[in-house]
Structure 1
Amino acid sequence: MFAPYHITHLDLHQPPAHAQPAPPPRQGQYLVFWWQEIALGHLFIEPGQVLSAEAYATARQAAIAPAVAHYAAQAPAAAGGAGAGAQWLAQGDFARWDAWLATILAPYLAAPLPAQVPVSVVICTRGRAEMLRRCLQMLQALPCTAAEIVVVDNAPTDTSTREVAAEFAGVVYVCEPRPGLDVARNTGIRAAKYPVLAFVDDDVVVHPRLLYTVWEAFEDPHTAALTGLVLTLKLQTEAQLIFEQYWSFNRGYVDKAYTPAYVQPATSPAPPVWEIGAGANMAFRKAIFDEVGYFDERLDAGAAGCNGDSEMWYRILLHGHTIRYNPRAIAHHEHRRELAGLKHQLFQYMRGHAAAALIQQAQQPQAGYRQYLYRKLPQHYYYLLRTGFPFFRSRSRTIWAELRGLASGVAFYYRHQHQPAEPRP
C-alpha cells in the first residue's frame, strides 16, 4: 500500500528549522532546505524510517553541501570557505554558520526588487480556465511583475480562456486555431513585445523572485536561454512519487553554464540536452529566434508528444550560444496524480524523445543520436526489464508505456521527416 510523502520547506536561516520535523503518521518526508529565498537541497526520508539526531544532521549536510560549496567558491573572501561553514553547522554553532552564509549569499539577495521588469510571460493553454485564472492571479500578485503577459489559447473549443484573460487588465489574449504546444509557443513569440520571454505553464506555482531572476540573468549579453529549478508541489500518490524519483524536473541547486562544446560529438556523443532543464520553467532572449528559428512544430503536445524545448536548446548551442541553468529561478510543478495519467505522459515523453533525437541527428550527422536510440536505449531497457521482472513495481511500472512511446516516436519521425519544422521568422 502506498504511503504519501509530506513536503516540508525548512528555512535554515531560522534556528528551529535545524531540528528534524516530526514525521507524520504512516507518511514519508520530503524536506527542502532553504536559506531565506535560496534553495540549497532536498532529502527523502522513507515512511517508517527513524533517523537519530546525528544521522539527520549528516544527511542534511550531505543534501546542501554541493550548493553551499558552489556559493562559497564564488565568494573566496568568506572566512574559512565551505569547510569552515560545514564545521560550524556540524557543531551546532548556528549563529556563526548563519552569519557566514549571509556573507556568501548576500550578492544573490541584496538587490531590492523593482515593481516590474521588461519581460513577456507567455502562457500556452487549452481548456483549463480555472488553472489559468489561478496562474494569472499569481503572476499579477508577484512583488516583481512582468511588463506583459501573453495568453495563447490553443485550438479552443469554447470561449472560457478568452473570458478568463479578459478579467485581468493588461493581459494580451491571442487565439491560435492550429493545435500543438509548439505551434502555440511560436504564436506567443510573435505576439510578445519585450526582449526577454519567459514561458510559464498554467499549472505551476512560481517563486516570488522568479521574474526578477529571469530578467537579471539576461543582463549578461552572452545568455541566450535560461532554465530554472522545478520543485514538486505534491507527493500524495504513487504516480507523483515515481515521477519525482525517476523523471524529476529538478536539475539541482548549483548554477550551470551550457556552452557550444556541450553538443560537440567529440565532447559527448548524443549530448543529453534534455538534462538542461524543463519546459515548465524556461526563458529566452527573443532575438535568438530570429537566428535559429522557432520551435519545431513536429514536436511536443499535439504532434510527436514532447522535447520541443530540448531540441530548441540543442539548436541554440549548435549556433554557438550559451544556455544557463539558474537554481534561483524557481517554479513548483504538480505532477500527474494517477498511474494511468503518468503512463500516458511517459509514452508522450519517449515518443517525443525518439523523434527529437532523430531530428537532432539530421542537424548534425556526427551527433551519435542514432546509435543512442538504436543501441544504448535498448540496452538500458533490457536491464530495466530484467531487474523489474516479474513484479514490475515502482520504476518498472511504466516501462511498457515508455517502450511503446519510443517505437511510436521513430515511426512518427520517418512519417514527418520531410515536413517543414516551421518557416523561419
Structure 2
Amino acid sequence: MPDLTENQGHYLVFWWHQVALGHLFLEAGTPLKPEEYEQEVMAAVAPALAQYARSLNIEGEWRKKVRDEKEWALWMDNLMAEYTTFPIPESVEVSVVICTRNRSSQLQRCLEMLQALECTPTEIIVIDNAPEDTSTFDVARQVDGVTYVKEPRPGLDIARNTGIHQARCPVVAFVDDDVVVHPQWVFHIWETFQDPEIAAMTGLVIAKELMTEAQVIFEKHWSFNRGYQSKRFDTRFFQDNIAFGPPVWEIGAGANMAFRKEIFEKTGYFDEILDVGAAGCNGDSEMWHRILAHGLVIRYNPRAIVFHEHRRDLQSLRRQIYFYMRGFITAALLQQHRHSNYNRLLHREFPKYYLQLAIKCFPKYQSRGRTIIAEIKGILSGYAFYFRNRKRSTKYPLPLVAHRNLQEVKN
C-alpha cells in the first residue's frame, strides 16, 4: 500500500506480468485503511478480470479467490496464462509510421525504443512533416532499417497519408514521437489483425507521468485511456448511435492506432483538413467513423500499450484543448454532412453542458474549469474553420503523393 501524505497523491496502474488491469487515483491527504485500499484496488481491476474470466466461462467465480494470497496468485496465473505465456516472433509484418516535425530528441528516443522491442516491425517509416531544418533527417539516417520521407506540405493527416502510401506491409501502425512503447506493443498490434474481420484497431494509452497540475487535469478529464477491457466497434455500435451521432472518439487515440492497409482503398485516406496543421484534431476519429460507416470492424486491444507524455504547463494544455475542440467540431460537422446526426450534440447538449459546467466551476474555475474558456473558443473556431474549409474536404480523400516533392531515404 502506498504511503499517502498531505502533499503527495498517487496514480497507480495495476499489472499482472505484461497485462495492465486497471488504475487508481489516490488523492493527497485522504489516507485509506488497508482493507479500504484493498477494496479500491479490487474495484479498479474488477471489470478487466471479469472479462478475462468470462472468456474461460468462469464468470462470477473469480471474486471468491481473493482471500487466500497463494490461491489467488495461482488462479491469476491460470486465468492470464493465454496472455502472459506465449511465443513471440522476433519480427512481424507491420509498418510503423512516425509523423514528426522538428522534434529530433523525441524521435531519437522513439526510434531507439522501437528497435529494442521484444518483437520488432518489418519497417519503420519517419515522415518529416514540413521541417524547418535537417535535424529529423540527421537522426533518422543514423538508425539502421529506418525509411526517411520528407513531406513538404504541413499537416498531420497529410503526413499520415504519405506514410500509408509508403508502407509495404499489410498492417500500418501509427505512433507519436513522444510516447514510450511497451516492449510487446508491435506484437499485439500484429496479433489483433490475425482476425481477418478486423479493419483497424486502437490500443491502451497510459499516462507516462502525472507530475504537474496540467498533466493531472488532462488525465482526469481528457484522458486517452479507454480502459482495460477489449472492445469491439462494428455496424451495431454505429447504427445504435446513429440517431444522435456515433461517439467515435470513444474508440481510442491516434497516438496508438493501426489499420489494415487495404481498407484505405475502400474508405479513402485521412481527411487533410483535420488534425494538427489544419483544424487541429480528430482526423483519427473521423477515419473511424468512415470505417464503421462502411460496415467494417474496429477492435480496441488493451494489451497493445503505449505511455503518453502529457503537456506539463497550463498554457500548453489550454492550447491543446482549444485545437481538440476546434477539430472535434469540424469533424462532427463533416460527419453530420455524411448522414450521421450530430445536431442534438452540437446544438443542444454542448450549450447545456457548458452552461452547467461554467456554473459549477464558478467563481474559482479550478481543476476542470481551467480549460473552459479555451474549449469555448475552440468550439466557435471549429464552426468558422468548417465553413471556410468544407469545400476542401471530400467524402473519399485520396493522397496526392504523385504530385508532391517527396524526398525518400532508406537506410
TM-score (norm 2): 0.95
In the alignment, which residue of structure 1 is the partner of 2:171?
196
Deviation at 1:266, TM superposition (A): 5.9
The one of the two structures with greater contact order (alpha-carbon pairs below 8 A, sep at least 6) is: 2
In the alignment, which residue of structure 2 is the partner of 1:85?
62
In the alignment, which residue of structure 2 is the partner of 1:13?
none
In the alignment, which residue of structure 2 is the partner of 1:383?
356
In the alignment, which residue of structure 1 is the partner of 2:268?
293
- In 2: Cα distance, 1:74 partner to 1:139 partner: 31
- In 2: Cα distance, 1:245 partner to 1:259 partner: 28
For residues 342-371 of structure 1, the C-alpha deviation after alignment (integer angstroms, 9 at most, x for no partner) is 00000000000000000001111xx22122
Deviation at 1:160, TM superposition (A): 0.5
- In 1: Cα distance, 2:61 partner to 2:294 partner: 42
- In 2: Cα distance, 1:386 partner to 1:231 partner: 31
- Of 20, 26, 30, which residue of structure 1 is paired with 2:11? 30
What amino acid maps onto 1:132 in structure 2?
Answer: L
Q: Does structure 2 conserve the Cα–Cα contact (< 8 Å) formed by 1:265 and 1:368? A: no
Distance 1:32 1:218, change over 3 A: same
Q: Does structure 1 conserve the Cα–Cα contact (< 8 Å) formed by 2:5 and 2:29? A: no
Mapped pair 1:257 → 2:238:
no
In the alignment, which residue of structure 2 is the partner of 1:127?
102
- In 2: Cα distance, 1:267 partner to 1:406 partner: 22
What amino acid maps onto 1:45 in structure 2?
Answer: L
- In 1: Cα distance, 2:354 partner to 2:111 partner: 41
Mapped pair 1:323 → 2:304:
no
SS of equivalent residue, structure 2 residue 80: helix
- In 1: Cα distance, 2:241 partner to 2:292 partner: 15
For residues 219-241 of structure 1, the C-alpha deviation after alignment (integer angstroms, 9 at most, x for no partner) is 10100000011000111100000
What amino acid maps onto 1:340 in structure 2?
Answer: Q
Output aligned runs, 1:168-183, within 5 Å: 168-183=143-158
Shift >3 Å, 4+ stretches: 81-84, 265-268, 420-423
- Between Structure 1 and Structure 2, how many residues are aligned? 398
- In 1: Cα distance, 2:398 partner to 2:11 partner: 45
Deviation at 1:110, TM superposition (A): 2.8
Structure 2 gap segments, 5+ residues each: 400-411
- In 1: Cα distance, 2:364 partner to 2:99 partner: 39
What amino acid maps onto 1:371 in structure 2?
Answer: R
Deviation at 1:108, TM superposition (A): 1.7
For residues 254-300 of structure 1, the C-alpha deviation after alignment (integer angstroms, 9 at most, x for no partner) is 00000012222665521110010000000000001111000000000
Deviation at 1:94, TM superposition (A): 1.6
Output aligned runs, 1:11-90, within 5 Å: 20-23=1-4, 26-76=7-57, 81-89=58-66
- In 2: Cα distance, 1:240 partner to 1:214 partner: 27
Q: Does structure 1 conserve the Cα–Cα contact (< 8 Å) formed by 2:202 and 2:257? A: yes
Q: Does structure 2 conserve the Cα–Cα contact (< 8 Å) formed by 1:260 and 1:321? A: yes
Deviation at 1:25, TM superposition (A): 6.6
Mapped pair 1:394 → 2:371:
no
Mapped pair 1:404 → 2:404:
no
Mapped pair 1:158 → 2:133:
yes
Distance 1:102 1:265, change over 3 A: closer
How big is the alpha-carbon RMSD for the aligned residues of Structure 1 and Structure 2?
1.3
SS of equivalent residue, structure 1 residue 417: helix
